[in-house]
Amino acid sequence: MSFDSGESFNLPWQYLRVFSPSKEVRGRHGKGRILVTGKEAVSITEMKPVGNYALKIFFDDGHNSGLYDWDFLYELGSNQNEYWKQYLAQIELISKA
């Protein structure tokens, strides 16, 4: 994924799925982000542009809600290492529980 700034990011499908901007993942009713697990083998089946501001991504697990606007995709790319480290730490915590 390339941006006007010249930066480009390779965002794995699993990463995009577990950080979906959908209400299902971002949380509801003021609660925080939901930890999504078991998506190691998820694939993208389709991507559709939504105007000039976002992508709608369809995953093979049936998830297709939430729009990935360009600012959010840039944020995911810019913070990929940190976000992924935090995600893996959360996974480790629940596996020890």
pTM: 0.89
28 lies in a domain? yes
Three-state DSSP state, 68? strand
6 lies in a domain? no
Contact (CB, 8 A) for 96 and 88: no
Domain tally, the chain: 1
55 lies in a domain? yes
78 lies in a domain? yes
Q: pLDDT 10s per residue in the chain (97 long)?
A: 888 889 999 999 999 999 999 987 876 655 678 899 999 999 999 999 999 999 999 999 999 998 999 999 999 999 999 999 999 999 999 888 6
**H-state helical runs in 3-79:** 13-18, 23-26, 70-78
Residue 24 domain boundaries: 13-96
